[in-house]
Amino acid sequence: MKRLSEKEFLKTFKKVPRVSINLLIIDDKRQVLLTKRNIPPFKGFWHFPGSFIQKNERITDCQKRVARDELGLELDKKPELSLLGAFDDLDGDPRGHTVDLLYAVKINDSSRIKTTKQTSEVKFFKKLPKKIGFNHRITLEKLGFK
């Protein structure tokens, strides 16, 4: 699938909301996994592993791409993912209006999770860190994380 240039991609925000697929991974201690962004916007901030869905990309393929590109994980052919909710974000992304679809992901072996070129750090949190990008703190608080 051909990706848009960054210039073309940014123009799309002026015309329509963008849909992102985010992954929520919780360990057996009810700690939430966040990744520290290595790319703008919000470089150096924590966030859900996630990405914008591409034209003609299935949601499950986007989920697999996010797991691979941001966590170094290969999800099963038919991953066990459940939709937790859809969240509006009118102001949280400096590029423009987004709609986040958040999916719960079950990972059997968290020791396989690693950083990638898009993430400088990957960590489970019991207490949320201060620097969280986008609208992800609001979403986490709605889900009961503090």
The CATH homologous superfamily for domain 6-142 is: Nucleoside Triphosphate Pyrophosphohydrolase (3.90.79.10)
Confidence of residue 1 (pLDDT cuts 50, 70, 90): low
DSSP notation for 121-132 = EEEEESS--S-B
How far apart CA 115 and CA 39 sit, in angstroms, is: 13
pLDDT value for 90 = 78
pLDDT digits (tens, 9 = 90+) for 6-20: 788 767 767 778 899
The span from the CA of 99 to the CA of 31, in Å, is 24
pLDDT of residue 13: 64
Separation CA 123–CA 80 (nearest Å)? 21
Peptide bond into 41 cis (omega under 30): yes
Are the CB atoms for 71 and 36 separated by under 8 Å? Answer: no
Contact in structure between 111 and 31 (CB atoms under 8 Å): no
Query: What is the rounded distance in angstroms from the CA atom of residue 120 to the CA atom of residue 105?
Result: 21
Q: What is the pLDDT of residue 85?
A: 95
- Residues 122, 70: Cα–Cα separation, whole Å: 9
Task: For 90-119, write each residue's pLDDT tens digit.
Answer: 787 888 889 999 999 888 788 889 999 989
pLDDT in tens, 23-67: 999 998 999 999 999 999 999 999 999 999 998 999 999 999 999
Can you give the pLDDT at residue 107? 80
